[in-house]
Amino acid sequence: MEKSVISEWERHGCIGVLTINNPPQNYLEGFQLALLEDLKRWTNDASLKGMIITGKGRHFCAGFDKEDLFKMTNRELLLEELRKNNAIPYYIEELPIPVVAAIAGVCFGAGLELALSCHIRVCSEKVLLSFPETGYGIIPGLNGAIRLPGKIGACRALEMVLAGKIINADEALELGIVDFVLPSKKVFDFSLSLLEKTVNKNSIDVIRSIMKSVNNTRKMPFEAATEKETEIFANLVFARHKMLQERN
């Protein structure tokens, strides 16, 4: 097992598991989850086909510790820290492998922002999700107010963020913030089995190609994304053709 800041990394076959380990609430330390260079080193592995992010103990992550946050009096330093840590959810979102957030207990603020950057969210029946920042006179700091409307629409995102509303599992499923709801003790095993079933039979090239296409829909105009997908498709057909030729 490897460690970086409050994250632990281990492999379950072709699936990587990042565990947020700062119990009981799993607050981010300072503003950090892990160093980006460590995350890159862990995930830059040709045999890695999927990833799970989970929390140690009862909770996924309660976000920033507000005492740490309000201790920060240097604006430039705060900006630098936020930019550095914004890079983590962005990196996760862009990974060419599917990433599942296995969420139990409380998932607040930066914890929810991290979960929103994952491609699939599996949560426990007793999960509580919230952006409580407005209660402290601030807004979500890791682009939660940008990612959430993309998932549930501006109207419902505004209601949740502005009111600092706490959402339970049923509401989260109905809103489309989470994809699966399970009993607490089954969340991790379900996530692992979901990923294994999804990726095991596929080659790394196919997984990466599909993820690239899916990720392109988020950042490119429709026409550019379809053009990219056509190129990716042709590349895979050509690679298969070449492999069969070499075999013969």
Q: Give residues in contact with other proteins (CB under 8 A).
A: 23-25, 58-59, 62, 105-106, 126, 128, 132, 135, 163-164, 166, 168
Nearer to other proteins, 175 or 225 (CB): 175
Q: Which two structure tokens, joined as six digits, stand for 88?
A: 């983590």
Q: In angstroms, what is the minimal distance from the CB of 27 to other proteins?
A: 10
Alpha carbon distance 202, 206 (integer Å): 6
Phi/psi region, residue 227 (left: phi>0; alpha: psi -120 to 50; beta: rest), is alpha
Q: 């604006």: which residue's tokens?
A: 75
Q: In angstroms, what is the minimal distance from the CB of 148 to other proteins?
A: 19
Q: In angstroms, what is the minimal distance from the CB of 128 to other proteins?
A: 6
Q: ∠ CA 235-224-145 to the nearest 5 degrees?
A: 115
Do residues 114 and 89 make contact, with C-beta atoms less than 8 angstroms apart?
yes
Q: Which two structure tokens, joined as six digits, stand for 183?
A: 């009993």
Q: What are the helix (H) ranges across the chain? A: 36-43, 66-71, 75-94, 110-116, 144-152, 154-163, 169-175, 187-199, 204-219, 222-247
Alpha carbon distance 152, 158 (integer Å): 10
Do residues 122 and 178 make contact, with C-beta atoms less than 8 angstroms apart?
yes
State the catalytic residues. Answer: 113, 133
Q: In angstroms, what is the minimal distance from the CB of 43 to other proteins?
A: 29
- In angstroms, what is the C-alpha Rg of the chain? 19
Alpha carbon distance 76, 40 (integer Å): 26
Q: Which two structure tokens, joined as six digits, stand for 202?
A: 């596929």
Q: In angstroms, what is the minimal distance from the CB of 192 to other proteins?
A: 22
